[in-house]
C-alpha cells in the first residue's frame, strides 16, 4: 500500500465506528457499524437482525469514518471502497471489538461480521475547523 493508504488505515484505527454503504434492491443504503483494522483490512460488526449482511456479502461497498464529532481542531475523513465478505472472526478479534450492544431497536443484538478488502482509499483533512454549536 502507498504511504497515503497507510495513513488512512492508521486514522481508521483511531475511531471505533463508521458507516458502510451499498445497494439493496437497486437503492442505496448506509448503516453505522463498529469496525476494527487488522492487517490493512476492515472487520465490521453489524446486527444480524437488520439483514444488511445479505446485501453486503460479496458486494462492492463504500466505508467512511471520521473524527468530525470529536471536537478536535483538525477534522479528517477516510473513505474506502472494496469487496465485503461475511466472516467469522478469530477469538482475539472478537475480544478487540469489546462488549456487544445489548439491544438493537429493542431486540437482542446478534452480531454478524464482515471483512472489507480496501481497493481504493481517499483521505480528507480540514484544518482549524470552527466549533459548531447546535441551536436549542
- Residue 35's nearest CA partner among 69, 9, 55, 1 is 9
- Mean pLDDT in residue range 15-19: 95
Instruction: State the pLDDT at residue 128.
Output: 84
Q: Is the pLDDT of residue 74 over 70?
A: yes
* pTM of the full structure: 0.86
Instruction: State the pLDDT at residue 2.
Output: 45
Q: Is the pLDDT of residue 44 over 50?
A: yes
DSSP E strand boundaries for the chain: 17-24, 27-38, 41-47, 60-66, 75-87, 103-104, 107-108, 111-126
Lowest-confidence region among 32-36, 45-49, 70-74:
70-74
- The residue behind cell 456479502 is 57
CA 61/CA 81 separation, integer angstroms: 6
Instruction: State the pLDDT at residue 134.
Output: 61
Class of the domain covering 3-126: mainly beta
pLDDT in tens, 116-135: 999 999 999 888 877 766 66
How many other C-beta atoms are found inside a 10 Å radius of the C-beta of residue 86? 16
Q: Is the pLDDT of residue 24 over 90?
A: no
Sequence-separated (6 or more) residues with CB below 8 Å from residue 103 = 109
Instruction: State the pLDDT at residue 1.
Output: 40
pLDDT in tens, 101-116: 999 999 999 999 999 9
Contact between residue 53 and residue 86 where contact means Cβ atoms under 8 Å apart? yes
- Mean pLDDT in residue range 41-58: 94
What is the grid cell recorded at 73?
Answer: 481542531
Taking the CA atoms of 21, 55, 40 and 18 in sequence, report the sign of the dihedral they define: positive
Share of the chain above pLDDT 90, in %: 72
Instruction: State the pLDDT at residue 133.
Output: 66
Amino acid at each position: 500500500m502507498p504511504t497515503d493508504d497507510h495513513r488512512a488505515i492508521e486514522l481508521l484505527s483511531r475511531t471505533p465506528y463508521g458507516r458502510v454503504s451499498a445497494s439493496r434492491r437497486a437503492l442505496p443504503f448506509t448503516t453505522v457499524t463498529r469496525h476494527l483494522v487488522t492487517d490493512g483490512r476492515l472487520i465490521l460488526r453489524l446486527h444480524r437482525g437488520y439483514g444488511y449482511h445479505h446485501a453486503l456479502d460479496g458486494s462492492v461497498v463504500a466505508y467512511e469514518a471520521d473524527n468530525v464529532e470529536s471536537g478536535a481542531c483538525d477534522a479528517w475523513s477516510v473513505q474506502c471502497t472494496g469487496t465485503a465478505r461475511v466472516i467469522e472472526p478469530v477469538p482475539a478479534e472478537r475480544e478487540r471489538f469489546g462488549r456487544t450492544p445489548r439491544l438493537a431497536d429493542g431486540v437482542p443484538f446478534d452480531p454478524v461480521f464482515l471483512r472489507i478488502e480496501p481497493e481504493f482509499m481517499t483521505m480528507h483533512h480540514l484544518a482549524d475547523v470552527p466549533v459548531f454549536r447546535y441551536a436549542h
